[in-house]
Amino acid sequence: MAVTQGEPQQAQALCDRFQVPFPCLADPRRSSYKAFGLKRGSVVEVLGPAVLLRGMQAALKGHHIEKTVGDAFQMPGTFIIDGEGVVRYARYAVHAADHPAIGELVEALHSLSGAAEPTSPA
């Protein structure tokens, strides 16, 4: 599930656009962000060199910055929570463009499910 700061229709539009296979929820009051200890960032954490570099890399791949919804200084985080509600993976961003690699998330999910890692042919 993904949680955004926007309104429900904005969260659904995001899910639809990216065709994600999980629900997108809206948290315009940022209650879940606060509950998970996600802080508001500083100017450097939101607009600093690391963020600008990641933005330029994304632009070169054809991505663009969208209109900010909610608090532009709200720092992101990524969490994997099991069926019992236990947080099994937590990543608190060190800057606004700090997101885990897909491989890191897949590895965390594999370890959660106990599934063997895929192996490459020899």
Give yes or no for a contact between 108 and 91, defined as CB atoms under 8 angstroms apart. no
Give yes or no for a contact between 4 and 10, defined as CB atoms under 8 angstroms apart. yes
pLDDT (tens digit, 9 = 90+) per residue, 10-26?
A: 888 888 888 888 888 99
Q: What pLDDT sits at residue 120?
A: 45
pLDDT-based confidence at 114, cuts 50/70/90?
A: low
List of residues 6+ apart from 79 with CB closer than 8 A: 36, 87, 89, 90, 91
pLDDT (tens digit, 9 = 90+) per residue, 71-97?
A: 999 999 999 888 888 899 999 999 999
Domain ranges of the chain: 1-35, 40-115
| CA dist., res. 108 & res. 89, Å (int) | 7
* Residue 2 structure tokens: 């993904």
pLDDT (tens digit, 9 = 90+) per residue, 49-62?
A: 999 999 899 889 98
Q: How many Cβ atoms from other residues are within 10 Å of residue 120's Cβ?
A: 4
